């Protein structure tokens, strides 16, 4: 059980590593944000001075490596930040960029990063226990035939790798489903936060997904199998469908996040 505890700790650390290393990266240069309307979104929800927290990031610009459009939220503590690629600012309209910023702000305000790390760590814990039981059962059955004494024998490494690979493959749909849920909620937040600031927010968001899908060469309508196994965001079709229709204001319904 001592070995198991060590592996669990190692995996928890590994799952948090991308966020930790991202937090240590600081911008080489900073200048006032080009999207002057972004503070209008940040003010009511975040409650801190957006002028201090919205920076232009350079170098290297995303355009030096790709023509795609994207943005993300990253970091821990004081380094938490939304990054909007220069391609997005250049190729999307200001209302579209505000929707993108609103989506990323949703991840930030709704604490999606710590929530997803916690959920993934719980799933991982379950998978590790399953892996532990499976590898023991496998060696009890075939260990002698394979010349492996037990799990402490270095010769068991290929068998362990096999179990980990199979479990990681089978667990991929679960991790993807968790991610797709948070991405869907961030889309909802993005629409709610630009309501009243951007005219026709449904049309703006739908047009952005259409445009960025074309630029990023995204599959417009993948099969259900491809979605379950390969998509950590909802498909373009699903996103366009949702953002074009989500309108609680017109029906007199409650908004979920931005009141
Ligand atoms: Zn997102």
Query: What angle is formed at CA 62 by the lines to CA 59 and CA 65, rounded to 5 degrees?
Result: 105
Domain hosting 236: range is 112-245
Burial class of residue 8 (count of CB atoms within 10 Å of its CB; 0-12, 13-18, 19+): middle
Residue the block writes with tokens 């993108």: 100
- Which pLDDT band, with edges at 50, 70 and 90, does 10 fall under? low
Among residues 71, 92, 109, the one where a domain terminates is 109
pLDDT of residue 16: 56
Q: Enumerate the active-site residues.
A: 104
- Using alpha carbons, list the distances in angstroms from residue 34 to 31, 55, 89: 9, 9, 8
| 217 in the same domain as 128 | yes
Percent of the chain with pLDDT over 70: 77
Q: Are residues 165 and 240 in the same domain?
A: yes
pLDDT of residue 32: 38
Task: Say whether both 102 and 129 belong to one domain.
Answer: no
- Indicate the number of domains in the chain: 2
pLDDT confidence of residue 71 = 87
Indicate whether 238 and 143 sit together in one domain: yes
Asked whether residue 25 carries a pLDDT value surpassing 90, the answer given is: no
Ligand 1 centre and the CA of 219: distance in Å?
A: 17
Ligand 1: centre distance to CA 189 (Å): 11
Give the Å distance between the CA of 70 and the centre of ligand 1: 9
In a domain, 53, yes or no: yes
Q: How far is the CA of 107 from the centre of ligand 1 (A)?
A: 7
Same domain, 187 and 71: no
- Domain boundary, last residue among 60, 82, 109: 109
Residue where the block lists tokens 């919205």? 54
Residue 182 belongs to some domain of the structure: yes
> Do 96 and 143 fall within a single domain?
no
Residue (of 21, 145, 7, 9) closest to 76 by Cα position: 21
pLDDT tens for 117-135 read: 999 999 999 999 999 999 9
56 with 82, same domain: the answer is: yes
Instruction: Give mean pLDDT, residues 96-110.
Output: 95
pLDDT digits (tens, 9 = 90+) for 214-231: 988 999 899 999 999 999
Cα(139) to ligand 1 centroid in Å equals 42
> Over the chain, what is the mean pLDDT?
84
Average pLDDT of the segment spanning 174-181: 98
Q: Which residues contact 238 (CB under 8 A, 6 or more apart)?
A: 184
Q: Do residues 150 and 239 share a domain? A: yes
Q: Give percent above pLDDT 90 in the chain.
A: 62
Say if residue 2's pLDDT is above 70: no
Return the bridge partners of 55, or none.
Answer: 32
Do 128 and 105 lie in one domain? The reply is no
User: Does residue 119 belong to any structural domain of this protein?
Assistant: yes
* Cβ 223 vs Cβ 178: under 8 Å: no
Residue 258 lies in a domain: no
Sign of CA dihedral 239, 243, 245, 249: positive
Residue 42 binned pLDDT confidence (cut-offs 50, 70, 90): low
**Residue 250 placed within a domain:** no
* Position 257 in a domain: no
CA angle 230, 231, 235 (to 5 degrees): 135
- Same structural domain, 231 and 121: yes
> Ligand 1 mean position to 182 CA, how many Å?
7
Q: Are residues 68 and 102 in the same domain?
A: yes
Distance in Å, CA 90 to ligand 1 centroid: 20
At 205, the pLDDT band (50, 70, 90 cuts) reads very high
Higher-confidence position of 16 and 256: 256
The pTM of this model reads: 0.78
Quick check: is 254 in a domain? no
Of 88, 109, 130, the residue at which a domain comes to its end is: 109
What is the rounded CA–CA span in Å between residue 228 and residue 214?
22
**Any domain includes 235:** yes
Residues lining ligand 1 (ion), CB within 5 A?
A: 183, 186
Q: Are residues 56 and 123 in the same domain?
A: no
d(CA 191, CA 125): 35
């Amino acid at each position: 059980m001592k070995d198991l505890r060590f592996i669990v700790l190692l995996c928890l650390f590994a799952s948090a590593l991308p966020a930790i290393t991202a937090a240590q990266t600081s911008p080489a240069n900073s200048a006032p944000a080009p999207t002057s309307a972004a503070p209008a979104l940040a003010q009511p929800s975040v409650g801190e001075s957006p002028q201090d927290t919205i920076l232009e990031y350079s170098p290297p610009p995303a355009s030096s490596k790709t023509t795609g459009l994207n943005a993300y939220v990253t970091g821990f503590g004081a380094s938490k930040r939304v990054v909007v690629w220069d391609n997005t600012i250049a190729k999307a309209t200001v209302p579209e960029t505000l929707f993108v910023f609103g989506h990323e702000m949703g991840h930030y305000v709704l604490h999606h990063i710590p929530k997803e790390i916690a959920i993934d760590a719980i799933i991982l814990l379950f998978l590790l226990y399953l892996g532990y039981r499976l590898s023991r059962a496998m060696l009890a059955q075939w260990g002698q035939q394979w010349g492996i004494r037990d799990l402490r024998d270095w010769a068991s490494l290929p068998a362990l790798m096999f179990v980990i690979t199979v479990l990681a493959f089978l667990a991929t749909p679960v991790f993807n489903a968790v991610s797709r849920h948070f991405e869907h909620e961030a889309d909802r937040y993005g629409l709610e936060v630009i309501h009243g600031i951007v005219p026709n927010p449904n049309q703006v968001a739908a047009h952005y997904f259409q445009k960025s899908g074309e630029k990023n060469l995204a599959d417009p309508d993948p099969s259900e199998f491809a979605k379950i196994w390969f998509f950590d965001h909802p498909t373009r079709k699903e996103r366009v469908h949702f953002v074009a229709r989500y309108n609680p204001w017109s029906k007199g319904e409650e908004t979920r996040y931005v009141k």
